[in-house]
Amino acid sequence: MIIKIEQPELFNFSECLRFLDRGYDDCLYEISEKYIIKPLVIDGEKVLVQIWEEEKSLKIEILTGNYTTDILQNTSRFVHDWFDLDRDLNPFYRLLRENNSHSFMEKKFSGLRLMGITDLFEALCWCVIGQQINLSFAHRLKRRLVENYGNSLTHNSKSYYFFPTPDVIAEIQPKELKELQFSRQKTEYLIGISRLFADGSITKEQLSEYFDTDQMRKRLKEIRGVGEWTANYVLMKSLKRMDCITFGDSGLNSSVSTLLELGRKPTRKEIEDFFKPFSGWESYFNIYLWRSLG
DNA sequence: TGCCAGGCGGACA
DNA sequence: TGTCCGCATGGC
């Protein structure tokens, strides 16, 4: 069964895949130049989907798993959310054009979308794993966690993994994670966050009912292990809030430093000023700045 | 070898 | 409220 999705204006599938790949061999999807394969849980059913581009549309095929009309519909919805297809990027591109020094981004990265991490729990765990270590090591740690504690399905004798569920991580003994080279801090944060999700203390639905981004940020920062960087990262990637800046992010610092030709780390004020013209589109500008790192 | 990595919490003034 | 420090381990 193949689902067809019309591509929105200002969309570039290759740019999106490139952003997902970046040579890190992520354990939660398989990516090639032409397609991406990802296992999903839709309405409690495990399905493996392949997404590719064909004649200006996106095609989604369910490779394995039982599916109903509802599952097809919700798979399509997932892809819309993941690739941020429902957003009109014209206003953002206008802002890029109005700021001469940034207009190169419109041409160079045209059609790049804010690739989401739909699952809030996964997004938070990924942040904790990635805190203060280099990205290649972070991906290796994530792979160890996923392959040791996540469910999987097999297709063409290949295993595709799901991110572990909160109840499973909540029960891991710290010693086990230490053996996988997780620091004591990361272990403590991961298990704590998992407990909150396992007992329903926090859910994405609940968080999305907050009045605005500031309140969501405040709520997230009450969680041990969640600081300003993680809160902003998660709000842009999972809640799709458009007004987030990942202050403290080394990649963001490096990008802003390069574009301003500072030769040093930018101050918080310099970053705030840099983002000022992009009010309401900070998250997208943040993503495009990451992309400009290469 | 030393510094840095898509930070965070806690101590201290 | 702002700043400094320890954590913990791989990559370059």
**pTM to 2 decimal places:** 0.97
Is A243 tagged catalytic?
no
First to last CA, chain A: 37
C6 C1': nearest CA residue: A185
> Which tens digit of pLDDT belongs to each residue from A30-71?
999 899 999 999 999 999 999 999 998 999 999 997 889 999
Nucleotides of B under 7 A from a protein CB: 4-9
For residue A188, the surrounding DSSP H or E stretch is helix A184-198
Distance A78 CA to C7 C1' (A): 38
Residue A294 pLDDT > 80, yes or no? no
Question: From the centroid of its chain, how far is CA A20?
Answer: 9
pLDDT in tens, A210-233: 989 999 999 999 999 999 999 999
Instruction: Find where tokens 């297809």 sit.
Output: A85
- Asked if A254 CB < 7 A from strand B, the reply is yes
Instruction: Give, in order, the Cα–Cα distances in Å from A278 to each of A112, A165, A199, A253, A282.
Output: 17, 36, 38, 17, 6
A125: left (phi over 0), alpha (psi -120 to 50) or beta: alpha
The first and second tokens of residue A47, run together, are: 């399905």
